[in-house]
Amino acid sequence: MGCVGVSAPGSRYTLYVDETGDRGIARFQPTFPVLGLCGCIVEDEAYHGVVVPALNAFKESWFGDASITLHYSSIMKRSG
């Protein structure tokens, strides 16, 4: 699914939500029968003025490219 950002029209805040683990019965994993859901509310001004520049600096420093998308599974497998 990936991280989803949602904000109400005219709002100064955005709610970012992401999940991990088992997302349905079709792909149920008996060894990991867990679904984790996490959310974070961020003020839009802080997101664009602080979070984005810091994240881009991190990606540029470690990967040489601020446009890459960070995926946990790729990082753990060292595949991307």
pLDDT for the residue 4: 62
Question: Which residues of the chain are under the pLDDT cut of 50?
Answer: none
Residue tagged 């100064």 (tokens): 12
Q: Is the pTM above the cut of 0.85?
A: no
Residue 42 burial (CB count, 10 A): 17
Question: In Å, what is the CA distance from 1 to each residue of 17, 34, 45?
Answer: 10, 16, 26
Pair 45, 27: CB distance under 8 Å? no
pLDDT for the residue 5: 66
